[in-house]
């Protein structure tokens, strides 16, 4: 069968051998927020993906919200990531770094007792994952207008560090209810300054971050992840279609490597998501589109065949199948992911999923 997924694609300057992307996956195996040698083994095992997008990685200590998640804001972290990019490149893979600031999805336990920051002082419903167990979210502190430029600079510096660490590009994490998403949505952004209110104002922070990292990488090596239908992390918006269509119109002028859309998940629909049709987003955006969210091989082939996406990212399937590309090619059975070992731990459920034997 003629496979769309196995057809090469050019993303930015890179000629990728297939359209099978490893989705960003937080695995909480980076003690002291530093990448480890075990992580290099894990990513290298998955290097046959057309593109690997790394787990979400903090741009600054303020951006931390989960234990044992890596950062890219100090030398030790850059050195750790360098080993990972080298291991992936040694196997002819490509890897982008996902840049992350959690905003309100954090806890004072990560910040010497200080409050996490957000567009507005609105607590998410739910619990933070702290080094001392689950604790109810607190009401965050609303960022002052003049603090925002400092965070833009943190993104720029993290992007420079990613370049030093040998990545092939970066993905701005503006999905799943973290800081940049919190600014986009009117459920979490009640600001009255130039970062709140109108569509233009709510999109401003993300566009400033995009401009900053593009100065480091050039636009063709920068991607952006959005979850327009997402409800994760207690996200709401009175009219998501309008803000996201507006935003995509603004992003068109950059000529980015790609836009990465997280489709509505079953959990979003259960939470009453205001689902935005992929067709609407495809129409609004001019460039390369990666989609993600509950895809198997059949649906992924279909979404490309229908012209709705150019490539597909797989999350849980990549956790369990380091050789997903080869398995798809052979229509081989897939390993089942084990959710118990998703977050934290050691080799088990991380680097010990079997590959097809030769
Ligand atoms: C264990 C786990 C960790 C995740 N970590 C991240 C992350 O760091 N950044 C991100 O943007 N999405 C993250 N996600 C979401 C996935 O990238 C993906 O959008 C989601 O799993 C849906 O795709 P799937 O059905 O193919 O798994 C994570 C999902 C899982 C299951």
Structural contact between residues 206 and 200, judged by C-beta atoms closer than 8 angstroms: no
Residue 333 CA to chain centroid, in angstroms?
27
Among 21, 24, 101, 337, the mutation site with the greatest number of ligand 1 atoms within 8 A of its Cβ is 24
d(CA 28, CA 55): 9
Atom of ligand 1 lying closest to residue 262 CA: 19
Residue 349 counted as domain residue: no
pLDDT band at 274 (very low <50, low <70, confident <90, very high): confident
Residues whose beta carbon lies within 6 Å of some atom of ligand 1:
23-26, 55-56, 98, 173, 175-176, 225, 262, 292-295, 314-317, 342
Q: What is the mean pLDDT of residues 276-304?
A: 97
d(CA 114, CA 125): 19
3-state DSSP percent of the chain in helix, strand and coil, to 5: 35, 15, 45
Residue 207 CA to chain centroid, in angstroms?
17
d(CA 303, CA 321): 21
| pLDDT given at position 47 | 98
d(CA 214, CA 173): 14
Q: What is the CATH number of the domain that holds 274?
A: 3.20.20.70
* pLDDT one-digit tens code per residue, 54-99: 999 999 999 999 999 999 999 999 999 999 999 999 999 999 999 9
Task: Give the list of residues 6+ apart from residue 337 with CB closer than 8 angstroms, or none.
Answer: 316, 317, 319, 320
| pLDDT given at position 255 | 98
CA of residue 56 to ligand 1 center, whole Å: 10
CA of residue 176 to ligand 1 center, whole Å: 9
d(CA 81, CA 96): 11
Residue 342 counted as domain residue: no
Task: Give the list of residues 6+ apart from residue 84 with CB closer than 8 angstroms, or none.
Answer: 35, 39, 40, 43, 44, 54, 95, 165
d(CA 195, CA 120): 11
Torsion on CA atoms 179, 314, 282, 268, rounded to nearest 10: -60
**Which residues are identified as catalytic?**
178
User: Against a cut of 0.95, is the pTM above it?
Assistant: yes
Percent of the chain with pLDDT over 90: 96
Helix (H) or strand (E) holding 288: none
Residue 351 counted as domain residue: no
Percent of the chain with pLDDT over 70: 99
* pLDDT one-digit tens code per residue, 230-260: 999 999 999 999 999 999 999 999 999 999 9
pLDDT band at 172 (very low <50, low <70, confident <90, very high): very high
Q: How many CB atoms lie within 10 A of CB 115?
A: 16
d(CA 324, CA 340): 21
The answer on pLDDT for 1 being more than 90 is no
Name the residue range of residue 259's domain.
9-316
Helix (H) or strand (E) holding 134: strand 133-136
Q: What is the mean pLDDT of residues 3-25?
A: 98
* pLDDT one-digit tens code per residue, 107-126: 999 999 999 999 999 999 99
Assigned token pair, 61 = 């200590």
Residue 150 counted as domain residue: yes
Number of domains in the chain: 1
Residue 88 counted as domain residue: yes
Residue 1 counted as domain residue: no
Residue 339 counted as domain residue: no
Atom of ligand 1 lying closest to residue 342 CA: 1
pLDDT band at 204 (very low <50, low <70, confident <90, very high): very high
Residue scoring higher pLDDT (357 or 260): 260
| pLDDT given at position 271 | 82
Structural contact between residues 294 and 265, judged by C-beta atoms closer than 8 angstroms: yes
Structural contact between residues 38 and 338, judged by C-beta atoms closer than 8 angstroms: no
CA of residue 23 to ligand 1 center, whole Å: 6
Residue 335 counted as domain residue: no
Structural contact between residues 23 and 293, judged by C-beta atoms closer than 8 angstroms: no
d(CA 46, CA 48): 6
Task: Give the list of residues 6+ apart from residue 166 with CB closer than 8 angstroms, or none.
Answer: 81, 82, 85, 86, 89
The answer on pLDDT for 268 being more than 90 is no
């Amino acid at each position: 069968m003629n496979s769309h997924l196995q057809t090469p694609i050019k993303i930015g300057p890179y000629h990728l051998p297939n359209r099978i992307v490893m989705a960003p996956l937080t695995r909480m195996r980076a003690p002291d927020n530093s990448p480890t040698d075990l992580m290099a083994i894990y990513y290298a095992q998955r290097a046959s993906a057309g593109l690997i997008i790394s787990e979400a990685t903090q741009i600054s200590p303020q951006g931390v919200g989960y234990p044992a998640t890596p950062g890219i804001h100090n030398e030790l972290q850059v050195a750790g990531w360098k080993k990972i990019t080298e291991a992936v490149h040694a196997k002819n893979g490509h890897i982008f770094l996902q840049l992350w600031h959690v905003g309100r999805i954090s806890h004072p336990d990560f910040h010497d007792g200080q409050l996490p920051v957000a567009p507005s002082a609105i607590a998410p419903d739910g619990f933070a994952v702290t080094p001392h167990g689950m604790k109810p979210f607190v009401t965050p502190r609303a960022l002052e207008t003049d603090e925002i430029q400092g965070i833009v600079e943190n993104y720029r510096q993290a992007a420079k560090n990613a370049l030093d660490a040998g990545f092939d590009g970066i993905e701005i994490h503006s999905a799943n209810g973290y800081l940049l998403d919190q600014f986009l949505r009117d459920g979490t952004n009640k600001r009255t300054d130039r970062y709140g209110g109108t569509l233009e104002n709510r999109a401003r922070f993300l566009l400033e971050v995009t401009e900053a990292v593009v100065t480091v990488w050039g636009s063709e090596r920068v991607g952006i992840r959005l979850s327009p239908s997402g409800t994760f992390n207690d996200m709401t918006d009175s009219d998501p279609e309008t803000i996201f269509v507006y935003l995509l119109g603004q992003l068109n002028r950059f000529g980015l490597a790609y836009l990465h859309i997280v489709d509505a998940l079953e959990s979003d629909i259960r939470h009453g998501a205001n689902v935005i049709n992929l067709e609407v987003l495809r129409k609004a955006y001019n460039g390369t589109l990666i989609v993600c969210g509950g895809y198997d091989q059949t649906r992924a082939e279909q979404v490309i065949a229908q012209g709705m996406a150019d490539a597909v990212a797989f999350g849980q399937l990549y956790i369990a199948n380091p050789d997903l590309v080869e398995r798809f090619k052979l229509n081989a059975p897939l390993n089942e992911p084990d959710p118990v070992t998703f977050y934290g731990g050691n080799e088990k459920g991380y680097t010990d999923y079997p590959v097809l034997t030769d």
